[in-house]
Amino acid sequence: MAESTPQPICNILTPVGMLGYGLDLPSNAAALNELVKNNAPTAIILDSGSTDSGPEKLALGHMTAPRSSYVRDLEKLLRLGNEYNVPVIFSSAGGDGTDEHVRELTTIVEEITAREENAHYKLKTVSIFSDIPKPLLHERLSSNAISGCGAPVPPLTPSDIATAPTIASQMGPEPFLDAMRRTPDFSVLVGGRAYDPAPYVAFAALCSEAAPLEPTSSPEAQRLWGGFTHMGKILECGGHCATPKSTGALATVYADGSFDVAPVDPGARCTTLSVAAHTLYEKSRPDLLYGPGGCLDLRGATYEQCGDGRTVRVRGGVFVFSRDEGSEYRVKLEGAKVVGWRSVFMGSVRDRKSPLSFWCRGLATLIGQLDDYLETRVKWWARKQHEGLDGDWEIDFHLYGKDAMSAVPPNEGKPAEVFIMGEVLASSQKLASSVATSARIAMMHGSYPGQKATSGNLAFGLGGKMHIELGPCAQFSIYHLLDLKPGEERLHTESNPQGLYTQLINTFGQGKPWHTDGVKQMDISKSAAPEKTHSINGVPQKETSSLPKTLGDIARVVRSKNAGPFEITFDVIFEKPAVYQLVKDFGVLTTKAIAPLIDIAEEDIIWSGFYDQALAFKTTIPRLRKGKVVPNGGFMENDVHASQQYIGLLYMELPHGFASQWEAIMKDSPS
């Protein structure tokens, strides 16, 4: 451990980064068993929300995971909470945190509690709601109190508000803290849409009532709020801060705002680099992280490896409240709408040149002229068949394998097969299916120069279907910042009637009341030993004797990911400080060099720079389709998380002379 250990004020366990994704009961019981030994208040806190999977939750009322997945996870969480006498807290219920999904997850808690085997449960459950009424938004829009969340986001319109079925807002920690203070003996807290760290910040603040949290402009308060927020930023993703990346993580928060973080998985460990690098993940920039009511400034954050080799102590982050800087308290609004209906057809094309055929050597093949064929034959035929019909539609194509080369003779080095998915968006499901059918027929039976297989061009019929109706197509339409008046960021109560957020308190079950006193009751000695994680994500690269040729040869991590629905961010993380410095000295990563590799104009890059704390480089760009800004998850989406956009950077060629200096560095510090 570090040389000096300040007074612990609370412990927090996050079993998994997303409720509904599954968790291991024995390993989390073991983690709780260790955490409660310091006698500090302890809670199980986790997130349940994200825009990563697209807009369907908000537009269509779907949840991120099947209802049965939430039941499975909550069964385990409620058992842990009950048997260790710690509260279970989660936010953004159902994935989007709408009022409907808060009620649904609360119902699941009630159902689990009502089972005969859980007759000893008596769970005081607080539900917090975060939907924002449309009249308020229309009023604020007319007074210019709503702005886009990021440069690529278009201005909000009255139509956007009117056509969104539900509009949620990302609560800050204030409603959670208000609810915890008003009901200190709560057992479960089901939160609506919230800033991911919000419940973590609230619980830490609840447990540090004696600390100088006010005035928020004081350096002491900024340090405490900064530590709480930084801790929440890390823990809300579970074990992503560890190497190898694992499922859960835990933290102990101290009275000076510092905190320790470690993975739940005994086969993983946190390092100073893995923890520092976490603030790169999904963020437009890593050093200044804006959220409800202010900004987390991590430029002075430090990371210290503790003596056990798997725990890291973090300190130095500060949270600057916007009102202390003369600005408004802002919360993020999220909404989506239905823009049409979709149908698709699928199949593959195999026509290709063969070096063994004399007759085919001089002929074009369908794969070789596929782009032109889709444009001039398939789209043309679909338009021709729907001339004069009512309704709007568009069609485009996903092509897989078009640029992939076969490694099998005699087609080595040539495209072997191309998989095609034609996607249609139309003003009705009937029209979408009609267009998809016409396009499939043209794809199947059209002619082209050099054609030999006159019986058909397309291998199709996957799943026994000619086409598949996908139903309504959703699109993010609201991703904006709302200026709040004083008090609106809090819970609506008798003493604060201006609060926008409401709560409902229920007590489920008839068992003996229990409290958050951290007393262990669960005998984990009878549980199976927790399994080690088998993930290879984030594992340090193997040493190689060959000289590096590409960026991927020298970087520990090269990745891409959403930074909200309208942006994609790229991270390059290095293992050795000397290699990181060499990359900077050679000017390998500049906006001019990387722009063509990620298919963006240099002037369109939103943010780009190095982050010394994590030995990393980051660049963030708008999410584009055919040169236009589009949010994730809509028409023609094929990488909703944007996790496969990094390939251009991975194979970026290193400049002349770099490899020899890299080799000298590796000889001097081989480990």
Measured distance CA(523)–CA(520) in Å, rounded: 8
Instruction: Provide the 3-class DSSP secondary structure of residue 472.
Output: strand
What gap in Å lies between CA 155 and CA 143, rounded to an integer? 14
Q: In the chain, what are the helix, strand and coil shares in percent, each to the nearest 5?
A: 30, 25, 45
How high is the pLDDT of residue 404? 73
Indicate the SS3 state at residue 20: coil
Which regions of 130-284 does DSSP assign to beta strands (E)?
A: 146-148, 168-169, 188-191, 249-254, 259-263
Q: Which two tokens stand for residue 27?
A: 């390993």
- What is the pLDDT at residue 1? 43
CA distance 595 to 610: 16
CA distance 387 to 554: 56
Mean pLDDT taken over the chain: 92
Q: Are 624 and 630 in contact (CB under 8 A)?
A: yes
pLDDT single digits (tens) 220-260: 999 999 999 999 999 999 999 999 999 999 999 999 999 99
First CA to last CA distance, the chain: 23
The overall longest dimension of the chain from CA atoms, in Å, is 88
The residue type found at 276 is: A
Predicted confidence (pLDDT) at residue 654 exceeds the cutoff of 60? yes
Output phi, psi for 116, to 5 deg: -60, -40
Mean pLDDT in residue range 510-516: 58
How confident is the model over 41-74, as pLDDT tens digits?
999 999 999 999 999 999 999 999 999 999 999 9
- Residue 257's pLDDT is 96
Q: How confident is the model at residue 512 (pLDDT cuts 50, 70, 90)?
A: low
pLDDT for the residue numbered 196: 97
Residue closest to 476 by CA, chosen among 57, 135, 93: 57
pLDDT at 482 over 50: yes
> pLDDT tens digits, residue range 437-473?
999 999 999 999 988 889 999 999 999 999 999 999 9
The pair of three-digit structure tokens given for residue 540, joined into one six-digit string: 């340090």
Fold type of domain 339-476: Alpha-Beta Plaits (3.30.70)
Q: What is the DSSP string of 360-420?
A: TTTS--TGGGHHHHIIIIIHHHHHHHTTT-SS-EEEEEEEESTT--B-STTSBTS---EEE
pLDDT band at 143 (very low <50, low <70, confident <90, very high): very high
Q: Give the separation between CA 84 and CA 72, rounded to whole angstroms.
A: 19
Q: In terms of DSSP bridges, do strands 249-254 and 302-305 run parallel, antiparallel, or are they unpaired?
A: unpaired
The confidence score (pLDDT) of residue 539 equals 46
Q: Examine the pLDDT at 540 and tell me if it is beyond 60.
A: no
Whether residue 670 has pLDDT greater than 80:
no
DSSP-assigned letter for residue 567: E
Instruction: Look at residue 531 and tell me whether its pLDDT is greater than 90.
Output: no
CA distances from 253 to 7, 224, 248, 309, 619 (A): 9, 10, 17, 19, 32
What pLDDT is attached to residue 248?
Answer: 97
Alpha-carbon dihedral sign for residues 465, 466, 470, 476: positive
- Please name every residue paired with 277 in a beta bridge, in sequence order, or none if there are none: none
Distance CA 222, CA 322 (A): 12
Residue 72: count of CB within 10 angstroms of its CB: 15
User: Which whole number is the average pLDDT over 645-662?
Assistant: 95
Q: Mutual orientation of helices 219-235 and 198-206 as an angle, nearest 10°?
A: 130
pLDDT at 538: 45
Among the residue ranges 87-96, 141-150, 406-415, 662-671, the one predicted with the least confidence is 406-415
Q: How far apart are CA 594 and CA 76, in angstroms?
A: 46
Residue type at 45 in one-letter notation: I
- DSSP state, residue 243: B
Question: What integer pLDDT is reported at residue 234 of this predicted model?
Answer: 98
Strands (E), 187-240: 188-191
What single-letter amino acid sits at 330? R
Q: CA-to-CA distance for 80 and 380, rounded, in angstroms?
A: 61
pLDDT of residue 358 exceeding 70: no
Q: How confident is the model at residue 514, as a pLDDT?
A: 45
pTM (2 d.p.): 0.92
Q: Which of the 8 DSSP states describes residue 427?
A: S
In the sheet that holds 8-14, the strands lie side by side as 302-305, 312-315, 259-263, 249-254, 8-14, 42-47, 88-91, 188-191, 123-129, 502-508
- Find out whether the peptide bond into 215 is cis, omega within 30 degrees of 0: yes
CA-CA distance, 47 to 17, in Å (whole number)?
Answer: 6
Give pLDDT, residue 543.
Answer: 52
| Calpha distance 428→621 (Å, rounded) | 33
- Mean pLDDT of the 637-657 span: 96
Domain ranges of the chain: 8-131+169-285+490-508, 339-476, 551-668
* Strand partners for 558: 572
The whole-number average pLDDT for the span 420-427 is 98
Percent of the chain surpassing pLDDT 90: 86
β-bridge mates for residue 629, sequence order? 624
**Rounded to an integer, what distance in angstroms lies between the CA atom of residue 70 and that of residue 63?**
10
The answer to whether residue 652 scores a pLDDT higher than 70 is yes
The sign of the dihedral angle between the CA atoms of 267, 271, 277, 279 is: positive
Instruction: Summarize pLDDT for 594-623 with one digit per residue, the tens.
Output: 999 999 999 999 999 999 999 999 999 999
pLDDT score recorded for residue 211: 78
Provide the pLDDT confidence category of residue 3 given band limits of 50, 70 and 90. Answer: low
Rounded CA-CA distance 142/431 in Å is 37
Q: What are 538's two structure tokens? A: 């984030």
**What DSSP letter does each residue of 69-135 carry, written as one string?**
HHHHHHHHHHHHHHHHT--EEEESGGGT--HHHHHHHHHHHHHHHTSGGGTT--EEEEEEE-B--HH
* Top-confidence residue, 408 or 400: 400
Residue-wise over 8-35: b if at least 16 C-beta within 10 A, else e?
Answer: bbbbbbbbbbbbbbebbbebbbbbbeeb
d(CA 563, CA 643): 11
d(CA 467, CA 128): 43
263 upstream amide cis, omega within 30 of 0: no
| pLDDT > 70 in the chain, percent | 90
Predicted pLDDT of residue 70: 98
Strand partners, 625: 628
Task: Give the residue among 205, 172, 147, 105 at the shortest CA–CA distance from 501.
Answer: 172
Listed residue (113, 125, 91, 79) closest to 19, CA to CA: 91
